[in-house]
Structure 1
Amino acid sequence: MTAADRAVERVDEFVTERPVTVIAVFLLISVVAVGGIGGIETSAGADQFTQDIPAQQALDDIDEEFETSIGGSATAAQVIVTDDNVLSRPTLIRILETQDRLESRSTLRVGSTSSHADAIARRLDPTAETAAQRRDAVEEATPQELRTAINDADAAGAVAAQVSVDYNPTAQTADAAIVGITYDVPEAATTARVTGLQTRSVEVVDSVPGNDAGDNAILFGDGVLQSEITALLGDTAIIVFPAALLLILGFLVFAYRDPIDMGIGLAALLLSLLWTFGFMGYAGIPFSDSLVTVFPLLLAVGIDFGIHIVNRYREERGEGLSIAAAMRTTTDQLLIAFLLVTITTVFGLVSNVASPFEPNRDFGIVAAAGITFTLVIFGIFLPAAKVLADRWRDRLPIPAFGTTPLGSGGSRLGRALRVGVDLSRVAPVAVVVLLLVGGAIGGAYGTGVNTEFSEEAFFPNEDRLETYSNLPEPFAPTDYTFLRVLTLFEEEFEQGFVGSVTLYVDQSVRDDDALELIDRTTRNPPDTFETTEERRAASTSVVTVIEDRAARDPEFAAVVNRNDRLGTGVPDRNVDEVYEALLDSPARGQARGYLADDRGSARIDYTIRPGVDNSEAVADVRELAERTPLEAVPTGSLVVNEAVIDRLTESAIRSLIAAFALTAIFLALSYAYLEGRAVYGLLNLVPVLVTVGLLVGSMRLFSIPLTPINAPILSVSIGLGVDYTVHFVHRFVDEYKAGHAVDEALDITIAGTGGALTGSMLTTVCGLGVLWLAVIPLLQDFGLLLALGVLYAYLCSILLVPSLVVVWDRYGDRVGLGLDGGLRESTGERAD
């Protein structure tokens, strides 16, 4: 007897002789697990996948060191004001009143606010120090004075930068404007603190007469964004989890056909989820977009284990065995299969620990722990609960309901499941070749699958949100402000329509040649960059701000000319003097968008030609960073996204190879140890390869790109695929070792295990496919891929494995790898 057999015997003893003790221990552990749930935090959005990327670090530095009218650091926010004309007197007064109330409320810790109304009011009353005084200046001005002040502010460049692109200087009209807010809190302030300040700021904005927060005055900042993305994750969970449970309940009714058995199965599922949530809390792993997919996965594996236990137990009870004997036989034959399934699935999951993305690493760790908990709970707790329940049923007048295994006898399901076995007798070689070629074609076709990553990929499906808004509470989703803000940025401020890349100059720009070096980066631009009439790159930097200001301000132009020895229009000495003059001018705000306060860094934005492939533009800005003598880091959202995509492809392939190699080695060694034939382990892997090939091909066929969320699907599909083939092959090996011929062993296997596999497949496909109901498109795609992976694994186990076994039996001995070292004759007897 092997060590594995002795361990199973020990489990048999506890399950059948001490079921109450077993149940009590599991419930006690569950109480401990509850303590960890309170420590779970949430993490959502694209930021999870951009950590440790140099381009993202440079982008973070830009947010901290430079001021911009749109965006900014985590301690900044914007109020987007819309009206028929944001330059009209009533709207200017409303904006300044908003600024006054924000600055006056000390608990909000607002350090400063800025707007085009500010600039206009300063032209009316240069001595006005507060927003309230500037509001009074606008209120008291004559129409002509106000019109003149608007013209003066516009001439200084203080209006167009703050209002929408439909701004008409002649008519002095615009539909939207941005009010900038800076909070006086440390840059290291927690997200929760900033979110709290911004949330309270919304209430103050709404208190201003004429403002309707969320409609014509929308406050938006990183704090609001993060809170809404977290709410998005919660809305997804609220919709997906109940829907998954309802679907699973329906199929469990079909699979168990007995309320007591179904109750035990559900209790085991809930314990699995509880233990996994508790583990997350104690391990300090945040709940993220990626981890939403873990729980349907655990439900899938748990349902599979539960149906197999109950189905096989019923099969043995149907043979006349007692409760204890039937459960001993069941666990003897299934626990080893469960162990093989669990370990191979864990290999597929743990391979994600090698991912460069922390959410994927967390996914691998949490899912592996959850699958392990599922093995223990369904391998020990559920059999013990089933034994205890059936003993009570015998003692009490409790009626028996469904007692026959799925797919047994001459049922329609039983006849349908025999298709694979029947084909294995007629044309096994043709079946094997057809499916192997199909898998290979799918894999080859799938090599052209797209890769995708962007912040927008984590945003919800707006059509689905509108549909779900009709649901009752708590299922109705949140009214997401950031969706309207993004629409306004695109429509009113044209943010997002023009592609751009950035060079972050990470060095002091106070040397005499600093501005010249920045200017040189615009010469001889690559073909992907937009160019000016002078054949230079269309760019924005502190140099272009200086040139623009010099063209508007003769006094400033004199400072520039005095310090331009080469006559190029770019100062090449006393640059600090130029900076001081620039920052003392009305162009200060624009300059601070491209020059750090300590002048220890700068930024250069380049506009990309319309229609240019993003990867080409990113490659060009990376090359530009390498050849410039400046210490420059290429960055911008396109650069960050491209870096994620580069890591994504490499990570997915590495995880897939690691998962397959570990699984192959483990199965070969396991079957060599348990059965003395490593070939049984290899038989499990052929259907898995076909499953992976079909799945990759389906991704391209259904236009589902490879993303950070679904990247683990390839390695996970190996574990899920092995789940089905291990159950089939393990049962076949048991029957084959019992002396049955290959055909007879296949008949018994499909009759006994096929029904359980079918019930498991139906509940799993629906349990995972319910992710399609999620409001986040990435999760919809992941649910579809998981469901397809399970379906393909099931079909391969039912259709391919029987023919594969027959072909191996016929031809394996020719290479010394037969099923048992000798062929079975057509009579079913062993060859001598």
Structure 2
Amino acid sequence: MSETRWSGRFEAAMGSLAARSHRRPWVALFVMLVLTGLGAFFARDLRLNADLANLLPKSFPSVQDLEKLRTRFGGQGNVVVAGIGAEPEQLKQFVDDMAPKLATLSEIRFVNAQRPSQFFDERGLYYVDLPDLKTIEQRIDARFAWEKEQANPLFVRLEEEPAPSLDFSDIQKKYTGGANMRLAGQGSTYYLDPQERMVVMLLKAKGSSADLGYSKKVITQVEDYLAKQDLSKYGPGFHTAITGTFKKKIDQQAVITGDLARASSLALVLLLAYLIFHFRSGLSVGLTMVPVVAGLSWTYGFVGIAYGQVNLLTGFLAAVLGGLGVEHGIHLLGRWGTLRSEGMTSEEAVRETFKHTGFSALISALVAALTFLSLSWSEFRAFHEFGVIAAVGMMVSVASYLLILPALLGLVSRWGWVPREHQSQSGPMAMLARFLPRRYRAVALVIGVALVGLISQAYRVSFNYDSTKLDDVSLPSVRLDRRIDHILGYSATPVVVLTDSEGMEREVVKQLQARKEKFGKDSTIDFVGALEDLVPRQQEEKHALLQSIHKKLQRIDPERVDKAQRDDLLRAVKMTAAKPFVREDLPESLRRQFEPAAGQKGGVVLVYANVSLSDGVGTRRFTKEVRNLQMPDGSQVSAAGEALILADILDMVASEGPRILVAAVVSVFLAMWLTLGSLRNAVICMLPTLLSIAGLVGLMSLMGLQFNYLNIVVIPVLIGTTVDAGVHLIERLGEPGADFATVYAETGRAITGGLLTSAIGFLALVFAKHPGLNSIGDLANLGFAVNMVIVLVGFPALLLLVDRWRNKHSAASTPASDDGTERPAES
């Protein structure tokens, strides 16, 4: 290939820049210090934001609805205070003592400490439709007539007939699913579980749990108050615990932050340990790490300017970019050391290293950057920001090596440092370099059969939509929160439909109940509640009918009623005496659950799900059922809540995944074709990566691993970070006079080091407590392992197989002359 091609000129330019930096190291190092200082300055306030709503674009209706909800309603969820380890009476006393005091805390709007069961029990008949009330009256009239006949001594019944029943369970059953019945609950008026020996109070905070700083503030306030109380009076084993949305977010944020800190620290330790093993030189380790640290500082300075925060995916990118950056250093410093050992001066070795190996590093970085940029096309902000930051980081990494490494080599060379000469003809790579040319057919056959077997299983891999698999469910606050729903009898965190008028409330409730009836047993809606719905219609008509029923019930002698129905009769007498009521008569703790935050107008409809809103499949069904309610004025309203955010994330990842994967492959291929200048070489270099991805998916099915909305990002990452191994191998083998054994022993060692250091950033995530981060680490390292086998064993065996076949075919097509020498074949 002609050296006049643009890539040849670019190679020469890189060599010249590196040589200039080598000659004038202090200028380059001064520029490095300035840029690193600026990067550290702009990155100083970076923080992790693990809120799901921050993973979607702000233009999404679900995000906008959630923001409106947080503004008007103060967000979702509660601070849940649990009293644990005492007898029921002591637990009730704890609630009676603490609820009024907790309600006075500055960050608490109100406390929901008891069910409104007594209120609804007394007024339950107002929620019965008029036709059913008339049916009740008719049954009472029949009973009353029978009682009169029994009391008449002159009346003789020819056949003994049972007394007309006062059992109204069939009518009661029709209304058991109503919001009033579900919110009233059954049993104790306290949120109490005698078997668990636990009682809970639900504290509604003034702010939103999405603000982590505010969450810490309100939780600290509640914890500090409880810590000052004398709890010994409730029993020797009594203690308190806090859970709920606010507490869980703090705990999960702490887990993720701790995981990322540990992963970064562990990755650094592992990188240093490997570099020491690889180079056997402390100075070589320093020469490799200084550009990496500087490049990370520049990259995260950009992140501070562009985003001001990191998310669940971009938070661990420092460890990953560090590993990928070290890979460049291994190739560059290793090649420089080899050239020095061959007699070149330091500057000549730097020029030659950056002209060829440096250009290969640039190609691999550019290819990886383009792969990452394919993620930036996603509307899923976690993918978008990951793609942009990773792409910038890859290019910055090469730039930092181009600026810094030649300058450092210039300094250490002036001080007389000579790199430790590595014996390329010894070690595992040298042994493999001698083995492969002898057994390449068998190796190619074994690797090929194994790949065919793995790829045949790839179709069995599934996508895991259950988000609980991505949260740390071992946290005490998470485990306790799961017990709360059992005590309440319904979900503690419903989704919310914001309304602007009482008529709109009724319309929303009407449409949601119609959808629930339409889906029948397949409906994901448990029940729907709204203040307007909790104040029944036609109360005056019902009151008149109830007064009539009340008078008739009072005339029935309880002693003549079956014992099984006697209590029901006495309860009915009490219920029919109830008077009509309005919104203001509802219990305050109930009413305030539906009221907006201070200074806000409008109301809400609470929609409770009968499926786990952590289960992605159920959540997606629930979301479809509660969205796009058509109002009479032509407008549309939808429920708001984090469950809908999760559903949108899952839908987006499922729809964008194939498109991103195709974009990643195409962008990598085009970049390699353009930079290598050869379609054939681009295809050859892509082959190990594509086979690795296919083999990985097949291996996942055999190991029972699944994709999820976090670890799916590993696939384009692997495409971008493993393709450079083929580039380095092909480029070196393509040099004039290249010998397979020598090139493979040297380049294979560098490739191994590069893949290992690339994997180290992900390896640290294997030890994360957060299951989502853990799944990323598992999948990435499995992918690197598969790629290492293919690129170090299968790919060279294939190259040897093709090369031998081509040579044999070329020899067979060259006819011999009369004197036995070969002559070119006729065309």
Give yes or no for TM over 0.5: yes
Aligned residue identity for 2:484 = F
Alignment partners' CA distance in 2, 1:711 and 1:800: 26
Q: Distance in 1 between matches of 2:595 and 2:806?
A: 73
The residue number in structure 2 matching 1:486 is: 481
Letter in 2 for 1:786: A
Secondary structure, aligned partner of 2:624: helix
Deviation, 1:189, is 9.9
1:10 equivalent in structure 2 = 16
- Determine which structure has more spread, i.e. the larger CA radius of gyration: 2
| Native 8 Å contact 1:45 1:229 kept in 2 | no
Query: Contact (CA 8 Å) 1:418, 1:750: kept in 2 or not?
Result: no
Structure 2 counterpart of 1:746:
740
Q: Secondary structure at the match of 1:523?
A: helix
1:406-445 pair list within 5 angstroms: 408-424=424-440, 426=441, 430-431=444-445, 435=447, 438-439=450-451, 442-443=454-455, 445=457
Which residue pairs with 1:539 in the alignment? 527
Matched, 1:650 2:655: yes
Tell me the TM-score normalized by structure 2: 0.74
Name 2:691's counterpart in structure 1.
Answer: 690
Deviation per residue, 1:405-429 (Å, 9 max, x gap): 6xx11434311244444444x468x
Letter in 2 for 1:415: M
- Trace 1:538-557 onto structure 2 (pairs within 5 A): 539-542=527-530, 546=534
SS of alignment partner, residue 356 of structure 1 = coil
Task: Give the Cα–Cα distance (whole angstroms) in 1 for the partners of residues 85 and 260 of structure 2.
Answer: 37
1:371 aligns with 2:364: no
Q: Deviation per CA, 1:377-434, whole angstroms, max 9, x where unpaired? A: 223312321232133135xxxxx673216xx11434311244444444x468x54xx6
Q: 1:654 to 1:364 in 2, by over 3 A?
A: same
Find the residue that maps to 1:294 and give its secondary structure. helix
Is this contact kept in 2: 1:694–1:792, CA < 8 A? yes
State yes or no: 1:217 paired with 2:240. Answer: yes
Q: Aligned pair in 2 of structure 1 residues 269, 210: CA closer, same or farther (>3 Å)?
A: same
User: Which of 370, 389, 401 lines up with 1:347 in the alignment?
Assistant: 370
> 1:521–1:322: structure 2 CA closer, same or farther, 3 Å change rule?
closer
Q: Which residue of 2 aligns with 1:177?
A: 199
Where 2:638 maps in the other structure, the secondary structure is: strand
CA distances 1:440-468 after superposition (whole Å, capped 9, x unpaired):
65455334333234553443363xxxxxx
Code of the residue aligned with 2:638 in structure 1: it is V
The residue aligned with 1:607 is 610
Equivalences for 1:263-278 in 2 at 5 Å? 263-278=286-301
Between 1:21-30 and 1:686-695, the stretch displaced more is: 21-30
Counterparts in 2 of 1:102 and 1:591: CA distance versus 1, 3 Å: closer
Counterpart residue type for residue 654 of structure 1: R
Is 1:783 matched up with 2:777? yes
Matched-pair contact (CA < 8 Å) for 2:320–2:760: no
Q: Is the 8 A contact 1:79 1:220 kept in 2?
A: yes
CA-to-aligned-CA distance 1:782-825 (integer Å, 9 cap, x gap): 1122222222333222223334434555778999xx9xxx99xx
Matched, 1:202 2:202: no
* Residue 114 (structure 2) aligns with: 116
Greater Cα shift, 374-383 or 717-726: 374-383
Residue 691 of structure 1 aligns to which amino acid in structure 2? S
- Aligned residue for 2:83? 81
SS of 2:708's equivalent? Answer: coil
CA offsets, 1:674-721, max 9 Å, x none?
Answer: xxx331122111111101112222333333332232222111111112
Q: Specify whether residues 557 and 733 from structure 1 end up closer, same or farther in structure 2 by C-alpha distance, changes over 3 A only.
A: farther
Distance in 2 separating the partners of 1:312 and 1:612 = 51
CA distance in 1, matches of 2:100, 2:54: 37
Measured after TM superposition, the shift of residue 203 of structure 1 is 0.5
Q: Aligned-pair RMSD on alpha carbons?
A: 4.7
The match for 1:294 among 301, 311, 317 is 317
Aligned residue type for 1:10: S
Asked whether the 8 Å contact 2:752–2:788 carries over to 1, the reply is: yes
Higher RCO (Cα < 8 Å, 6 or more apart): 2
Q: Per-residue deviation at 1:295? A: 1.9
Give the drift of 1:16.
2.9
1:282 is matched with which residue: 285, 293, 305? Answer: 305
TM-score (norm 1): 0.74
Instruction: Give the match for residue 36 of structure 1.
Output: 42
Q: Distance in 1 between matches of 2:505 and 2:582?
A: 16
1:692-731 maps to which residues of 2 (within 5 A)?
692-731=693-732
Give 3-state SS (helix, strand or coil) of 2:82's partner. strand
* Separation in structure 2 between the aligned mates of residue 789 and residue 588 of structure 1, nearest angstrom: 57
SS for the counterpart of 1:525 is helix
Q: Could you say if the C-alpha distance between residues 74 and 702 of structure 1 is closer, same or farther in structure 2, counting changes exceeding 3 Å? A: same
Q: Is the 8 A contact 1:501 1:607 kept in 2?
A: no
Indicate the SS of the match to 1:227.
helix
Task: Give the partner amino acid of 2:624.
Answer: R
**Deviation by residue 1:19-50 (Cα, 9 ceiling, x = unmatched):** 23222221221112111121212201544435
Aligned to 2:172: none
- Whole-Å separation in 2 of the counterparts to 1:589 and 1:112: 7
Q: Does 1:166 align with 2:166?
A: no
- Residue 421 of structure 1 contacts residue 803 of structure 1 at CA under 8 Å; is this kept in 2? yes
1:659 partnered with 2:664: yes
Read off the aligned partner of 2:463 and give its amino acid letter.
T
Q: Within 1, Cα distance between the matches of 2:469 and 2:14? A: 47
Map of 2:795 onto structure 1: 801
How does 1:142-157 map onto structure 2 within 5 Å? Answer: 157=184
Moved more, 248-257 or 270-279: 270-279
Structure 2 partner of 1:510 = 503
Letter in 1 for 2:503: R
User: Is the 8 Å Cα contact of residues 218 and 481 (structure 1) preserved in structure 2?
Assistant: no
Indicate the percent of aligned positions where both proteins have the same amino acid.
17
Displacement, 1:334? 0.7
Q: Which moved more, 1:412-421 or 1:314-323?
A: 412-421
Q: 2:421 aligns with which of 390, 400, 403?
A: 403
The SS at the match of 2:81 is strand
1:528 maps to which of 519, 522, 529: 522
Verify the 8 A CA contact 2:609 2:622 in the aligned structure 1.
no
Cα separation, partners in 2 of 1:705 and 1:58, compared to 1, 3 Å: farther
1:452-471 matches, within 5 Å, as: 452-453=464-465, 456-460=468-472, 462=474
Q: Distance in 2 between matches of 1:76 and 1:402?
A: 63
Q: Matched residue of 1:581: which SS?
A: coil
Q: Secondary structure at the match of 1:179?
A: strand
- 2:431 partner amino acid: R
- State the distance in 1 between where 2:806 and 2:434 align: 24
1:227 partner amino acid: I
Aligned to 1:474: none
Q: Secondary structure at the residue paired with 2:200?
A: strand
> Which residue number corresponds to residue 307 of structure 1?
330
Distance 1:384 1:645 in 2: 48
Distance in 1 between residues matched to 2:414 and 2:495, nearest whole Å: 72
Q: State the Cα deviation string for residues 581-612 of structure 1 (Å, max 9, x = none).
A: 3534446655665798967553444535x999
Partner of 1:358: 381
Displacement after TM superposition at 1:304 (Å): 1.2
Are 1:250 and 2:273 counterparts? yes
CA–CA separation in structure 1 for the residues paired with 2:419 and 2:360: 28
Whole-Å separation in 2 of the counterparts to 1:828 and 1:706: 58
Cα distance in 2 for partners of 1:385, 1:321 equals: 17
Work out whether residues 661 and 715 of structure 2, in 8 Å CA contact, stay in contact via their aligned partners in 1.
yes
Residue of structure 1 in register with 2:163 after alignment = none
The match for 1:732 is 733
1:51-90 map, 5 Å: 54=61, 73=75, 77-86=79-88, 88=89, 90=90
Match of 1:49 in 2: 55
Unaligned 5+ segments in structure 1 are 67-71, 124-152, 168-172, 395-399, 463-479, 531-536, 563-577
The alpha-carbon deviation at position 75 of structure 1 amounts to 8.6
SS of corresponding position for 1:41: coil
Q: Distance in 1 between matches of 2:223 and 2:613?
A: 39
Q: What secondary structure is seen at the aligned counterpart in 2 of 1:393?
A: coil
SS at match of 2:460: coil
